[in-house]
Structure 1
Amino acid sequence: MSQKIAIIGAGTAGISCARTLLEYGFDVTIFEARDRIGGRIDVSNAFGKSVDLGPNWMHGDTKENSALSYFKDASVTLHDIGSYGTIFAPNGMQYSPDKVDYLEEFMWEYVEEAIEYSKENAATIDPELSLYDYVERVATDRYPDNAEMQEQILMATRIFGFYIGEDVKRQSLKFAFLEEPSPGENLFVASGFASILQNMAEKVIDKVDLQLNTPVADIDTSASGVSITLKTGQSIAFDAAVVAVPLGALKKRAIAFHPELPARLLSAVDSLGYGRLEKVYIRFPRKFWSLDYYEFFAPDYAPHTNPEKWPMSVISLAHLPEPYCQPVLLWYLYGEMSQKVVNMQTDGEKIAFFEPYFSRISGYEPGRDEPAAIISTSWSKDPYAGYGSYSCFTVGLKEGDIDIEELRRGLPERNVWLAGEHCSDVLQLATVGGAYGSGIHAAHLVVEHFESKN
């Protein structure tokens, strides 16, 4: 086929879409607003060794993960973070190892139960109920006379916020089933996503017309074709377009559509949640810690920096295999907590925010182990990332599963389709594998559309 197809966005979805379209002989142009490909796949070498500013994980190792072959490439090293960790109680003391096992079992037990309840009762669940509401009710029913047990269950449940990019108090119970973890292993990409991105883009970038530093302003659509207008004012005609920008960019109307997108599609865009997951890497002069990860429940001991008592979650990069290990602790932040840190003006202010936690880790010596450097992300300030991280399903959502299908369908009657993690099948939502699969899905819809016209 020789039709001209425009792809907006050179992230994972845009690259996989282009790869598939090239296989069918389409003439492909990619417009990318940044000066690089990859979208939210990005790295920093400020520590001397690279760290990923975007995704860290391979989620699932079954056929649902369309990008699995890239994770399994010989150049990629995957790592099981391990089960050797600890949890600090609100008073700053460590729980015993047995208690840690107990609390972690609570978290997954209650989250999985909420997901199953959501699967079975989604049609009748009040859209305003959160996953946290469900766990709170169940914990109260099961332990009516044990307030301490109820509190510990709820503290453990809040850790799930680091997986979804938002507070579980905002996680829709009605659509909790859309947050079901991908089947198979979930492994940390120790070698980083740079080689994965390179492998994905191989045989694509040299065969398409790649336009970097070229943001799109408008898309004019009709039954006969598509006109792409760039921020420079230049307009270019195409037979069809695949819009592979983040959900947040669609929410912010970063690209204007003429005529406007249909009301039902706009409703889907506006109704789905958009997470605010951020990361902070702190490098120390040495590895003074011994465990794979640390969690801090509802801290009472940081009233000035964390009066909201947000929980903390950190993993060790010192336990990665050579040559990727380094004396670094990686902190995951979500929701309002992430916004507070993103808005801090100096590295010193950020380090002070985390000091109550890393200073409690066994082996830390004041003066000797002061942080040497810090790297922090700010996706929620990035317009090309849509001012956030990835899709999630927040309270108030009424038709989440239908919304996803609406996004996946696109606008074939106007020669426009959508791609991105928010357009993946439900088992791969909010993942790199999902973004990759969504690009393939959109490309196949384009192929079917033009084949039906021949």
Structure 2
Amino acid sequence: MHRRRFLQNAGLGLPSLAALTSLSACKAGPTEANPSVSSDSERVIVVGAGISGLAAARHLADRGQGVVVLEARNRIGGRIWTSGKWAGMPLDLGASWIHGIDSNPIAALAAKARARTVVTNPDSSTGYLADGSEVDGAQAKAIDRWQSKMEDALSSYQDDADKDASVRSVVERALRWSSLSDDDKALISFGLNDYEHEYSGSVDRMSALYFDSGADIKGKDVLFPGGYHQITDLLASGLSIRTGHVVKHIDWDSSGVTVATDKDTFLAGHVVVTLPLGVLQRGAVTFGPGLPANKRTAIDKLGMGVLNKCYLRFPKVFWPDTDWMTHVPDVDKYGQWEQWINISRVTGRPVLLGFNAADFGRTTEGWSDTRIVDSAMGTLRTIFGSDIPAPVGYQITRWASDPYACGSYSYNKIGSTPSMRDSLAAAVEDRVHFAGEATHRDSYQTVHGAYLSGIRAAKEVAD
């Protein structure tokens, strides 16, 4: 049921400012006829310079189509964001992995960009229990056994149920939660939180029927030691991109589209909207004649999840030389700092990356940086002892609080169906086209899904 094996953690990782290509030479200027209005009935406007928007613009520009990309941020990449805060150590605050390199278009782009990749191995993992002791063979078998029971329970429910329910409710009912010991509850909770890291939504709201409806991912997972920005830089090269333009309103009629930002108004024949699902849900951008009912329903019912990161830089390495580390907390600390990746194996520097997903990931966004680091260090000291060194630096994400993301990536919430992603992707009156990871029915939550959605929208325009 998992697209990746249990304990193989996911994350559409998310970058502080990266070493991005210069956009100053790429910005489109106002027309000579009217300095406040850019007009061209043959032009296409792309809203958003994330991977889907850049894919759409690149596809159209390479075929001679006039394209202008409007981006609210003062950088490109969207939820791909490579931090250059630490010299010589680019870190991805957004998307981190190519998930499944077999026949993956992002792998092909990486080769074109000559971007080095490093495999992360799910079998290279060290586990720890609530008291900090290392998971032994018997305990590892217990974790696997409970995971198998959870997967069986969810598979049976998908085969037989005629109505939706939450992942948690199905698992707890099938495993007779109230009769279990605290130790077993902790192991099951650890498995439930793994679903949250994989899919970004809370298991209290994740659809038991459709949470794993995406296509299987084939091949190894790889990271970019030089940062994911190498992919977005490649796509953006030579494009007309206007950063710092916050789109407010999109209107259309039989003659074309009008896109109003906080700085200007743009006219074109078509618009490709790549706003994240969370931004559409927030209603920050209004649509002139209104969106079709089935598209509004899809926006309302699909879920936007959270996966946040906390990079901790230390003066030395004090952890094992494995790719992954996992921690099984007590039940009353559900979802707190359960998954870590050893970034030193990628960067050669003493850095750990901790993840927090779903409800706890949202909770930490309201904390100060100091409180988040102290919380993370509490877990690390439980595992490695109170005498480990304090971090000399940190980098923290808050994707749900980002007004231009409103979350990390989409998931299938109770009451939603996979077909709603088709409704979200559908063009409106052959003028307004939609792209983004949430619009890809088979590969939502992934960079390659977002990229392919941009190509699909560009082809709609070209056709």
TM class by shorter-chain length? Answer: 0.7 to 0.9
Is 1:263 aligned to residue 293 of structure 2? yes
Q: Which residue of 447, 450, 460 maps to 1:432?
A: 447
Q: Which residue of 373, 394, 405 maps to 2:413?
A: 394
Most deviating of 267-276 and 215-224: 215-224
Q: Which residue of 2 aligns with 1:451?
A: none
Partners of 1:2 and 1:25 within 8 A in 2: no
CA distance in 2, matches of 1:190, 1:114: 39
Q: Which residue of 2 aligns with 1:282?
A: 312
CA distance in 1, matches of 2:109, 2:228: 10
Q: Tell me the CA shift for residue 225 of structure 1.
A: 1.0
Is 1:293 aligned to residue 293 of structure 2? no
Q: Which residue of 2 aligns with 1:130?
A: 166
Structure 1 residues 222 and 259: CA distance shift in structure 2, 3 A: same
CA distance in 1, matches of 2:306, 2:221: 21
Q: Tell me the CA shift for residue 196 of structure 1.
A: 2.0
| Superposed CA offset, 1:190-241 (max 9, x none) | 3320212222323xxx1x4321111111111112211111213x32221111
CA distance in 1, matches of 2:41, 2:157: 46
CA distance in 2, matches of 1:179, 1:284: 38
Query: Counterpart amino acid of 1:155?
Result: F
Is 1:405 aligned to residue 406 of structure 2? no
State the TM-score, normalized to the length of structure 1. 0.85
CA distance in 2, matches of 1:148, 1:86: 19
Q: Which residue of 238, 241, 248 maps to 2:268?
A: 238
Q: Which residue of 2 aligns with 1:314?
A: 340
Is 1:85 aligned to residue 125 of structure 2? yes
Q: Which residue of 383, 400, 406 maps to 1:380?
A: 400
Structure 1 residues 98 and 219: CA distance shift in structure 2, 3 A: same
CA distance in 2, matches of 1:377, 1:407: 27
Structure 1 residues 26 and 2: CA distance shift in structure 2, 3 A: farther
**1:170 match: secondary structure:** coil
CA distance in 2, matches of 1:119, 1:350: 37
Structure 1 residues 372 and 16: CA distance shift in structure 2, 3 A: same
Q: Which residue of 325, 337, 343 maps to 2:360?
A: 337
**2:78 match: secondary structure:** coil
Q: Which residue of 53, 63, 72 maps to 2:93?
A: 53
Structure 1 residues 184 and 137: CA distance shift in structure 2, 3 A: farther
Query: Counterpart amino acid of 2:163?
Result: D
CA distance in 2, matches of 1:344, 1:153: 27
Q: Which residue of 202, 222, 225 maps to 1:190?
A: 225
CA distance in 1, matches of 2:215, 2:154: 7
Is 1:349 aligned to residue 368 of structure 2? no
CA distance in 2, matches of 1:312, 1:86: 12
Q: Which residue of 2 aligns with 1:452?
A: none
**Cα RMSD, aligned residues only:** 2.7
Is 1:36 aligned to residue 75 of structure 2? yes
Q: Tell me the CA shift for residue 292 of structure 1.
A: 2.8
CA distance in 1, matches of 2:152, 2:60: 41
Partners of 1:140 and 1:150 within 8 A in 2: no
CA distance in 2, matches of 1:155, 1:44: 30
Q: Tell me the CA shift for residue 47 of structure 1.
A: 3.0
Partners of 1:87 and 1:95 within 8 A in 2: yes
Query: Counterpart amino acid of 1:270?
Result: D
Structure 1 residues 93 and 337: CA distance shift in structure 2, 3 A: same
Q: Tell me the CA shift for residue 34 of structure 1.
A: 1.0
Q: Tell me the CA shift for residue 119 of structure 1.
A: 5.7
CA distance in 2, matches of 1:86, 1:56: 21
Q: Which residue of 2 aligns with 1:447?
A: 462
| Superposed CA offset, 1:71-126 (max 9, x none) | 4453221222452323333344332145225524643x3565466446645xx442
CA distance in 1, matches of 2:202, 2:419: 23
Partners of 2:190 and 2:335 within 8 A in 1: no
Q: Which residue of 1 aligns with 2:175?
A: 139
Partners of 1:90 and 1:296 within 8 A in 2: yes
Structure 1 residues 327 and 274: CA distance shift in structure 2, 3 A: same
| Superposed CA offset, 1:262-309 (max 9, x none) | 221111111100011110011111001113322222336xx7xx5x56
Most deviating of 80-89 and 431-440: 80-89
CA distance in 2, matches of 1:120, 1:244: 34
Partners of 2:201 and 2:303 within 8 A in 1: no
Partners of 1:34 and 1:213 within 8 A in 2: yes
Partners of 2:326 and 2:338 within 8 A in 1: yes
State the TM-score, normalized to the length of structure 2. 0.83
**2:340 match: secondary structure:** strand
CA distance in 2, matches of 1:299, 1:136: 17
Q: Which residue of 38, 49, 58 maps to 1:19?
A: 58
CA distance in 2, matches of 1:248, 1:394: 13
